[in-house]
Amino acid sequence: MKPTRRAMLEPYILLLPSILYLAIFFAWPMAQAFGLAFRDDAGRWTLQFFQRMVGDASFWPALSATALLVAVIIPLQFILALAMALLVMARLRGSGALVYIYALPIAVSDLAAGIVWFSVFTERGYLNTILQGLGLLERPFIFLQYGSTWALIAVILAEVWRATSIVFVILLAGLQGIPNEYFEAAEVFGAGWFQRLRRVTLPMLRPSIQVALILRTILAFQVFAVVVALTGDGVKVLASEAYQWYNQWRNLNVAAAYAALILLISLLSTGLYLRALRSRSEAAGA
Amino acid sequence: MKRAAVIVSVAASLALMPACAPQTRVVEIEKTVVVEKVVEVAKEVPVTVAPPDFGKVTILSTQANPVEEQEKMRGVVLKDFPGQAEFVGIEEPALLDRVIAEAGAGKGSVDVLIALHGTYPTLQAADALMDLSDLAAELSERGIPQAFMTLGKLNTERQYYIPVMQATYIMAANKAALQYLPAGADIDNLTWEQVRDWGKNIADATGDRKLGFPASDRGLLHRFLQGYLYPSFTGGMVTGFKSGDAEAMWAFATDLWQYVNPQATTYAFMQEQLLSEEVWVAFDHTARLVEAFKQKPDTFVAFPAPKGPRGLGFMPVIVGVAIPKTAPNPEGAKQMIRYLLQDEVQINILREIAFFPVVGVSYPGFVTVGIRMEGEAVSKQAASADALPALLPVGLGAKGGEFNKVYRDTFTRIVLKGEPAATVLAEEGANLQKLLDETGAPCWPPDPPSDGVCKLQ
């Protein structure tokens, strides 16, 4: 009797530390953040902080800039990462080294990446110096000015450089998991390279694509350090607004409202991806 | 047994004190044993020229609180005080609680307070501060700017604190820019219009926009708006927020911004852009400019902020020194104030904790050129005939951040985005009034004093 009982409890005991960890460091703070977002000082439930957030002059610019960045960065990264992964899979000479080169930016912190790209794009930065050295520019061009498309392009470039590698790694792992027989069979039936990509590679890669897209989209809605390091107060995004409300304007409630909004958007987009990229067996209810 | 030992040791230590009259002392030990003891001390005092001893002076300070600064206060700044100076660092809320409680009890342990201007109105309202008018009269020849002394009266006839040190925001320029100063302009006596024309001259001659303001999220642009532009153009920081003068001011700011480097929204510490020469003329806090003067003292000049139609609005960060009504050693406390205002001590404060003197000092050779240049600009700015010191918000408490946001948002919307000033001022003015109503903050200088909550015109 006794050993069976112990055996029954064992998995839960083993799980306990991680559950405690999650509860103390994730669940509890998250509940507190929601409390801050939805309850006033007297503890009454309220939507006033959301009204304050939406009514704020920076809200719509931040929301639209974030949406724009997600809409541009994610497809770009996906196409680039797929091309990079396919290139590595083509097993050309030196493709082993390519993996390391492509994966390198994963190791760079996003703030460091932002600062590096700032030194490229700033008035006295590398880009202006090179362009002036080549005689293409007479005086420095100011990329990072307020409201300029160039500032957004700089953010997109920096983000694509920084975060494509994670998509690449996930897709490469997925590609390596596809048995070669499928490709051989397709070739036997006369499928060309493009047809094999469309009919074999992409469908087989669907689970990896799903993971990569969910991960990247959630992270893209949280984009922060790169934007702040590159543009200062020039481009506002949701996460930078949350930070500013917390850190500079010292209204913890509105900051929490921003955080809750980011969470909501992330959940919605995850749900969307899960639905849109259901594999056939899942769709059939298997 | 224990109690007897305590009494003996207290009696011994009291007997050692060089007092010359019978005195009553209350000594509190660990809050449980209170010993009252009358000590008779011989009345003959040896007639030697020993330095006077002003006894133990306990200082509570909200400034110089980081550990290394506290050590510098104890080890250098207060070292030569004729008495036993005890420096205690404390946060503002704790200081308020303690001093008000002591005033309520009618019995205190603190002799001297060192705090920002904004701390004192609360203490004065609780009737916890000693009237220092006689000391102020005595110190009048020390050359403390009249505008600062007036602030120390806290809207009364009496002097409640004496300004002891300051920090502020000033201007800095690359010497290469000086040739483009508008005709007849005196760099120590500029108007904001002349600064705009200066920027225009530079842009016309070099093709670059070389004025600079710290307009990034980490920059202190809101202080420029609150303490410099608004007072200079409207005479106040808050009451004239959406006035006709304010609309004219924003029109000017938009005009000025044509000559400001467009990358200014990434600037946080103007010393960086001055050193890289992205910018030739810049505004910032003294601590955020000082590296430029330290590294290249021959390249840069420091000068006071320009003035507007209503005067030279500027934002001093004023640290005042006061004595609680219940100070156990008021004579020692007054001596401490005299001591802190001596030239050498003021220079020591500058060297050790980087606050500028409030008295007119001549800088000795060991003060680096850069700091001296800044210090001279700070003094000139404060001593200007039409100086309009604009204080950090008083009474807003935790809403100070949102107060700053109103000014930053107004700037972003009018100057950067080009929204119509009248609409923006009406909307942001409503936000501002709401903050004032929520906190119940009365007006603070340079706005005229208000009955109750500060109201926008």
Q: What is the pLDDT along chain A (286 residues), one digit of tens a residue?
A: 556 777 888 899 999 999 999 999 999 998 999 999 999 888 899 999 999 999 998 999 999 999 999 999 999 999 999 999 999 988 888 888 888 999 999 889 989 999 999 999 999 899 999 999 999 988 889 999 888 899 999 999 999 999 999 999 999 999 999 998 888 898 898 888 888 888 889 999 999 999 999 999 999 999 999 999 999 888 999 999 999 998 888 888 999 999 999 999 999 999 998 888 876 555 444 4
Identify whether the C-beta of residue B168 lies closer than 8 Å to the C-beta of residue B315.
yes
Residue with token string 């104890």: B74
- Dihedral pair phi/psi, residue B93, rounded to 5°: -60, -40
- For residue A241, the chain B residue with the least C-alpha distance is B217
Measured CA to CA, the distance from residue B406 to residue B430 in angstroms comes to 10
B27 burial (CB, 10 Å; 0-12 / 13-18 / 19+) is middle
CATH number of domain containing A64: 1.10.3720.10
Q: Across the interface, do A118 and B266 touch by the CB < 8 Å criterion?
A: yes
Report ipTM for this prediction.
0.85
Looking at chain B, the whole-number percentage of residues with pLDDT higher than 70 is 89
Residue B144: half-sphere exposure toward Cβ, Cα within 13 Å? 28
Q: Across the interface, do B402 and A144 touch by the CB < 8 Å criterion?
A: no
Kindly report, residue by residue over B324-373, the tens digit of the pLDDT.
999 999 999 999 999 999 999 999 998 888 788 888 777 777 777 888 88
Question: Which tokens belong to B196?
Answer: 């705009």
- The per-residue pLDDT for B399 is 85
Which residues of chain A are within 8 Å of residue B216 when distances are taken between CB atoms?
A: 232-234
Residue with token string 């409630």: A253
Measured CA to CA, the distance from residue B265 to residue B213 in angstroms comes to 8
Q: Which chain A residues in 41-60 lie under 8 Å from chain B, judged by CB atoms? A: 56-58
Residue A120 lies in a domain: yes
Residue B445 lies in a domain: no
- Dihedral pair phi/psi, residue B194, rounded to 5°: -65, -35
Substitution target in B209, B263, B269, B432 with the highest count of A β-carbons within 10 Å is B263
Residue with token string 């009034």: B433
Cβ partners under 8 Å of residue B52, min gap 6: B82
Is residue B444 classed as helix, strand or coil in its secondary structure? coil
Residue B412 lies in a domain: yes
pLDDT at B26 over 50: no
Identify whether the C-beta of residue A172 lies closer than 8 Å to the C-beta of residue A82.
no
Residues B121, B269 share a domain? no
Kindly report, residue by residue over B249-301, the tens digit of the pLDDT.
999 999 999 999 999 999 999 999 999 999 999 999 998 898 898 889 999 99
Shortest alpha-carbon distance between residue B402 and chain A (Å):
5
Which residues of chain B are within 8 Å of residue A144 when distances are taken between CB atoms?
A: 263, 265-266
Q: Which of A68, A73, A97 is nearest to A84 (CA)?
A: A97
Helices (H), chain A: 2-22, 28-38, 48-55, 59-89, 95-103, 110-121, 126-133, 149-176, 180-188, 193-196, 202-204, 206-221, 225-231, 238-247, 252-276, 280-283
Cis peptide before B420 (omega within 30 of 0): no
Residue A196 lies in a domain: no
Torsion, CA B120, CA B126, CA B127, CA B128, rounded to 10: -60
Cβ partners under 8 Å of residue B455, min gap 6: B239, B433, B436
Residues B267, B411 share a domain? yes
Q: Across the interface, do B218 and A123 touch by the CB < 8 Å criterion?
A: no
Residue B33 lies in a domain: yes
Residues B176, B139 share a domain? no
Residues B340, B404 share a domain? no
Residue A34 lies in a domain: no
Measured CA to CA, the distance from residue A66 to residue A61 in angstroms comes to 8
Residues B210, B136 share a domain? no
- The per-residue pLDDT for A190 is 87
Residues B300, B153 share a domain? no
Q: Which of B374, B306, B362, B371 is nearest to B143 (CA)?
A: B362
Cβ partners under 8 Å of residue B66, min gap 6: none
Q: How far apart are the first and last CA of chain A?
A: 38
- The per-residue pLDDT for B382 is 86
Q: Across the interface, do A58 and B409 touch by the CB < 8 Å criterion?
A: yes
Question: Which tokens belong to A62?
Answer: 């931040």
Q: Which of B219, B205, B221, B284 is nearest to B253 (CA)?
A: B221
Q: Across the interface, do B265 and A233 touch by the CB < 8 Å criterion?
A: yes
Q: Across the interface, do B402 and A231 touch by the CB < 8 Å criterion?
A: no
Which residues of chain B are within 8 Å of residue A139 when distances are taken between CB atoms?
A: 207-208
Q: Across the interface, do B405 and A146 touch by the CB < 8 Å criterion?
A: no
Residue B385 lies in a domain: no
Which residues of chain A are within 8 Å of residue B399 when distances are taken between CB atoms?
A: 250
Substitution target in B217, B273, B275 with the highest count of A β-carbons within 10 Å is B217
Q: Could you tell me the strand order of the sheet in which B300-303 lies? A: B211-212, B281-285, B169-174, B300-303
**Contact with chain B for residue A224, Cβ under 8 A:** no
**What is the total residue count of chain B?**
457
Distances (CA, A) of B360 to A51, A52, A63: 52, 48, 53
Q: Which chain B residues in 40-69 lie under 8 Å from chain A, judged by CB atoms? A: none
Interface size A-B, in CB pairs within 8 Å, comes to: 73
CATH number of domain containing B223: 3.40.190.10
Residues B273, B137 share a domain? no
**Contact with chain A for residue B19, Cβ under 8 A:** no
Cβ partners under 8 Å of residue A261, min gap 6: A50, A53, A238
**Which pLDDT band holds residue B44 (cuts at 50, 70, 90)?**
low
Identify whether the C-beta of residue A245 lies closer than 8 Å to the C-beta of residue A200.
no
Q: Across the interface, do A122 and B265 touch by the CB < 8 Å criterion?
A: no
Residue B402 lies in a domain: yes
Residue B382 lies in a domain: no
Helices (H), B164-264: 192-206, 221-224, 230-234, 244-257
Residues B61, B94 share a domain? yes
- The per-residue pLDDT for A94 is 82
Residues B252, B175 share a domain? yes
Which residues of chain A are within 8 Å of residue B270 when distances are taken between CB atoms?
A: none
pLDDT at B22 over 70: no
Question: What residues pair up with B212 in beta bridges, in sequence order?
Answer: B282
Kindly report, residue by residue over B202-247, the tens digit of the pLDDT.
999 999 999 999 999 889 999 999 999 999 999 999 999 999 999 9
- The per-residue pLDDT for B128 is 94
**Which pLDDT band holds residue B38 (cuts at 50, 70, 90)?**
low
Residue B12 lies in a domain: yes
Q: Which of A276, A254, A260 is nearest to A210 (CA)?
A: A276
Residue A230 lies in a domain: yes
Tally of domains within chain B: 3
Identify whether the C-beta of residue B219 lies closer than 8 Å to the C-beta of residue B225.
no
Residue B146 lies in a domain: yes
Higher-pLDDT residue of B17 and B451 is B451
- The per-residue pLDDT for A21 is 96
Q: Which of A286, A238, A281 is nearest to A262 (CA)?
A: A238
**Contact with chain B for residue A144, Cβ under 8 A:** yes
Q: Across the interface, do A249 and B266 touch by the CB < 8 Å criterion?
A: no
Residues B248, B149 share a domain? no
Q: Across the interface, do A145 and B263 touch by the CB < 8 Å criterion?
A: yes
Cβ partners under 8 Å of residue B60, min gap 6: B88, B90, B95, B98, B99, B110, B112, B113, B114
Residue A26 lies in a domain: no
Tally of domains within chain A: 1
Measured CA to CA, the distance from residue B113 to residue B136 in angstroms comes to 16
Residue A9 lies in a domain: no
- The per-residue pLDDT for B30 is 42
Cα B419 → chain centroid: 35
Which range among A266-270, B91-95, B165-169 shows the weakest confidence by mean pLDDT? Answer: B91-95
Which residue segment(s) compose the domain that B416 sits in?
Answer: 169-314+390-439
Residues B332, B309 share a domain? no
- The per-residue pLDDT for B43 is 55
Name the residue among B261, B266, B401 with its Cβ closest to that of A248: B401
Shortest alpha-carbon distance between residue A32 and chain B (Å):
20
- The per-residue pLDDT for B46 is 52
Shortest alpha-carbon distance between residue A33 and chain B (Å):
19
DSSP strand pairing (B387-389 vs B312-314): parallel
Question: What residues pair up with B58 in beta bridges, in sequence order?
Answer: B86
- The per-residue pLDDT for A84 is 93
Q: Across the interface, do B416 and A147 touch by the CB < 8 Å criterion?
A: yes
Rounded mean pLDDT of B398-407? Answer: 90
Measured CA to CA, the distance from residue B131 to residue B156 in angstroms comes to 11
pLDDT at B25 over 50: no
Residues B236, B343 share a domain? no
Rounded mean pLDDT of B36-41? Answer: 52
Residue B432: half-sphere exposure toward Cβ, Cα within 13 Å? 27
- For residue A230, the chain B residue with the least C-alpha distance is B266
Which residue segment(s) compose the domain that A77 sits in?
Answer: 48-179+205-283
**Contact with chain A for residue B400, Cβ under 8 A:** yes
Q: Across the interface, do B263 and A123 touch by the CB < 8 Å criterion?
A: yes
Q: Across the interface, do B268 and A142 touch by the CB < 8 Å criterion?
A: no
Residue A138 lies in a domain: yes
**Contact with chain B for residue A126, Cβ under 8 A:** no
pLDDT at B47 over 90: no
- The per-residue pLDDT for B29 is 42
- For residue B407, the chain A residue with the least C-alpha distance is A249
**Contact with chain A for residue B278, Cβ under 8 A:** yes
Residue A255 lies in a domain: yes
Kindly report, residue by residue over B181-213, the tens digit of the pLDDT.
999 999 999 999 999 999 999 999 999 999 999
pLDDT at B161 over 50: yes
**Contact with chain B for residue A266, Cβ under 8 A:** no
Identify whether the C-beta of residue A211 lies closer than 8 Å to the C-beta of residue A170.
yes
pLDDT at B319 over 50: yes
Q: Across the interface, do A142 and B265 touch by the CB < 8 Å criterion?
A: no
Name the residue among A56, A142, A233 with its Cβ closest to that of B215: A233
